[in-house]
Amino acid sequence: MTASTSAAARRRFSLVCALALWVTPAIAGNVAGGALGGKSFDPDQALQFSQSVIGKPIGDYAFRDRTGKPVRLADYRGKPLVVSFVYTGCFSACPTTTARLAKAIRAAQRTLGAGTFNVVSIGFNLPYDSPESMRDFARRYGINDPQWKFLSPFEKQIPALVADFGFQYVATPAGFDHVTQTTIVDGEGRVFRQVYGEEFALPLFIDPLQQLITGKAQPVQGIGDAIERIRLLCTVYDPRAGVYRFQWSVVSSIVMFFLMLVGGIWFLWHEIRKRRRFDRAAAG
């Protein structure tokens, strides 16, 4: 080995060591701040934990949206809320999941109506997932839906926040290991359903939202509200086309059931009157 070659090798070695000293604290900090601390990621345990929060309330956490405006989770109460966790430095799973979620949201809006539910994506890799980074992430992947907010939490709240949603992650040299999940929260702030995977069938996403929207315990507000609820109840998934369609056969079944119910009531009323006339005639 020549002197020049040896010097070049020493420079490369020094550069690698410097890079390692710079990267290692960042990774260690992310691991310590993650929901699993320094533990290895166990998908089965993470899935079990994710399911364990269903039915439980979520705290009222503070965020900044992509413009830096302060918002709270309670601001989204009153409607179903769709929540996904992302980190803006991801170039594989998070963009794919976000793109798939965007398609599912558009399908749900066509089926259930625009404005019937809210959507938020929460960055969990702080301080890197700042409002500016979340704004760039949304722009980069073409998310311009006004109902879809991109939020940056405050770092001290991260452990409790991800625990409430049943979301676990651990930092790795390549990014983060975590279960890919989309959480559906009801209008009162309780976890209603978890939807897993980068790819999922539309009914797994739309059916829970439809159930929450049509199952509200409140009176029907006029004929328009009644018609809208009937439309939602009569919308079913067509697996061959991969879309939801208004199913007239469901309407026919409802109408037939109603007519049979009315006919049965009329028959009983008629028989009771006939029996009473017979009893009066027999008594006279």
Mean pLDDT of the residues in the chain: 78
- Do 251 and 195 sit in the same domain of this protein? no
Residue finishing a domain among 146, 177, 201: 201
Of residues 203 and 234, more confidence is placed in 203
- Do 170 and 271 sit in the same domain of this protein? no
**pLDDT tens digit sequence for 51-81:** 999 999 999 999 999 999 999 999 999 999 9
22 falls within a domain: no
Residue 93 has pLDDT above 60, yes or no: yes
217 falls within a domain: no
Q: What is the predicted pLDDT for the residue at 254?
A: 61
80 falls within a domain: yes
26 falls within a domain: no
228 falls within a domain: no
- Do 69 and 142 sit in the same domain of this protein? yes
Question: What is the domain-level CATH number for residue 161?
Answer: 3.40.30.10
pLDDT band, very low/low/confident/very high, at 49 (cuts 50, 70, 90): very high
The encoded tokens of residue 200 equal: 């999922």
Number of domains in the chain: 2
- Do 196 and 264 sit in the same domain of this protein? no
- Do 180 and 277 sit in the same domain of this protein? no
Where b means 16+ CB within 10 Å and e means fewer, 142-174 reads ebeeeebbbbbbeeeebeebbebbbbbbbbeee
Q: What is the predicted pLDDT for the residue at 179?
A: 85
Residue of 159, 164, 224, 166 whose CA lies nearest to 189: 164
Give me the domain span that covers residue 175.
Answer: 43-201
**pLDDT tens digit sequence for 30-48:** 333 345 555 688 888 999 9
- Do 65 and 143 sit in the same domain of this protein? yes
Beta bridge partners of 130: none
- Do 170 and 267 sit in the same domain of this protein? no
- Do 277 and 187 sit in the same domain of this protein? no
- Do 143 and 258 sit in the same domain of this protein? no
73 falls within a domain: yes
- Do 180 and 49 sit in the same domain of this protein? yes
Say how far apart CA 253 and CA 80 lie, in whole Å: 29
Q: Using an 8 Å Cβ cutoff, are 170 and 34 in contact?
A: yes
